[in-house]
Amino acid sequence: MSTQRGPRAPLTGLWAPLAAAVALAVAVAVVLVATGLATHARSALFPAPTPTATTPGWLAPPSSAPALAGAAPLSTAAPVPEADRLARDLAPRLALGTGSIGGTVLDAATGRVLFSQAGGDGRVPASNLKLLTAAAVLTSLGPDARLRTRVVRPDAGTVVLAGGGDAMLAAGSSQPDAVMGRAGLATLAADTAKALAPAAGAAHDAAASPQPAPSPPRTVTVRLDDTLFTGPALSPAWDPADVAAGEIAPVYALALNGARAAPGAAGPRPEDTALDAANAFRDALAAALAGTGVTVAAGVSRVAAPAEGQELAAVESAPLGEQVDYMLRESDNYLAEVLARLAAHAQGGPAANEGAVAALRAAAVQVLGTADGLEIADACGLSLGNRISPTALATLVREMTVGSDERLRAALGGFPVAALDGTLGSRFAGSAAAGAGVVRAKTGTLNTVAALSGYTVDADGRLLAFAFVANGLDPGRRGEAVQALDGAAAALAACGCR
């Protein structure tokens, strides 16, 4: 059966009220939009959602992040560690089965001795002696001094490369932001070529200079002047085996790459760093003059540049403060010897082995007040003939951190950071981890010697200066002494010691 719907009722009676309502709504909307009330109304009724800050997983800290021991802010109001408590903590750590350790800990603010274990005895410091070398350089030349490597022209056909003591020359272009290679021989050669053959660098300006441009020489001979340093290039205090191994090399008034075949290269060093640098300059000059009609004669010979020679070009090293930092951080023996000779020259002495030794003694008198008890055979600490007490080393560190001569502050950037850089980059792990990132110290290592001198801020925020020096070690067990030194320094960093 089918169902059929009937016709719908008419809605004519409802249309009038609906049309009026729609018209009213449109009129209200126009008013709201025109007056800006619509925006306010929407904001009130539908507020914008507030985003919730989230941290990406790769930025989130680990759930079990360890506390960094010894990381309290530095404060002169922090309590001073108690000497008795410090001795009970350090003495067992500094006991060795072979050899012995002398050590001193100072409160940096007052200079008070907080711990001493044979601290006044002279001991072989190894490379900790470089701290005294740094003091000699910074107090005689200053951290802002730069070394100039010059080219002078004594006659029309000769140029002389004159070394100014920069052992960090680069064979290539100067690198303005580098310490090693700040001054480049290729840059020096290019500037020299422009001076020799102006047409190679720029066209002659007849309006500015009506005189004809000077004719360049047909052939140029390169000579080397390394007479700034005098005396034997090798110290008699050095073991020939250390020279053969590349621990040191004959010291000259200029060198490439810190007297290495390449920056940071290991192994034997060049035997004549000055001549190597001069040959690199000669090759760069020949390349710079190619196509100008000027040739460069083969070979380089040594000569003393005349004082009246015309300076054609020069390049400058990084400031000595930066070179000192490099020397300390990398414990560079060659650079230490070069810098000590420069200090001797600045003090009016000979830039030679004996002058370097005298410069270090003078620095001890100036910074420490005395050179009594010091025995100095070289400037890099390679000789077993050196002697200095842990107390003197710790006092030297204290002077660098808070002393009155602010020039010494320039050395602080060169102290390696425990477990992070320089010669401490792979140390302060395991039981010494409390010192990682907190201890800053200069290392020293010879077959029978291990030393560590530096500073740290303890757990209460007190600045402490220290020096620990182990002598008479069995070379096969030297690692035990190194761990003991690291452990003692880490204990200082974690110490409240009250």
* Residues with catalytic function: 127, 130, 331
Check: CB of residue 78 under 8 Å from CB of residue 462.
Answer: yes
User: Minimal CA–CA distance to 236: which of 245, 248, 246, 226?
Assistant: 248
Instruction: In whole angstroms, give the CA distance from residue 18 to residue 10.
Output: 15
End-to-end Cα spacing for the chain: 106
**Tally of CB atoms within 10 A around 44:** 8
94 closest CA partner among 467, 374, 436 = 467
Both structure tokens of 156: 């029309």
Region of 142 (left: φ > 0; alpha: ψ -120 to 50; beta: rest) is left
Please count the other Cβ atoms lying within 10 Å of the Cβ belonging to residue 258: 27
Which residues have CB under 8 Å from 288's CB, separation 6+? 186, 189, 190, 192, 193, 200
The token pair at 109 is 């603010």
Q: In this structure, are strands 158-162 and 148-155 parallel, antiparallel, or unpaired?
A: antiparallel
Bridge partners of residue 456, in order along the sequence: 464
C-alpha separations of 307 from 2, 113, 193, 403, 483 in Å: 129, 53, 21, 40, 54
CB 456 within 8 A of CB 466: yes
Cβ neighbours of residue 406 under 8 Å, at least 6 residues apart?
none
d(Cα 459, Cα 69) in Å, to the nearest integer?
6
In a 13 Å sphere around the CA of 458, the CA atoms on its Cβ side amount to: 26
Q: Name the 3-class secondary structure at 356.
A: helix
Q: How far apart are CA 237 and CA 382, in angstroms?
A: 8
Burial pattern 9-34, b for ≥16 Cβ within 10 A else e, equals eeeeeeeeeeeeeeeeeeeeeeeeee
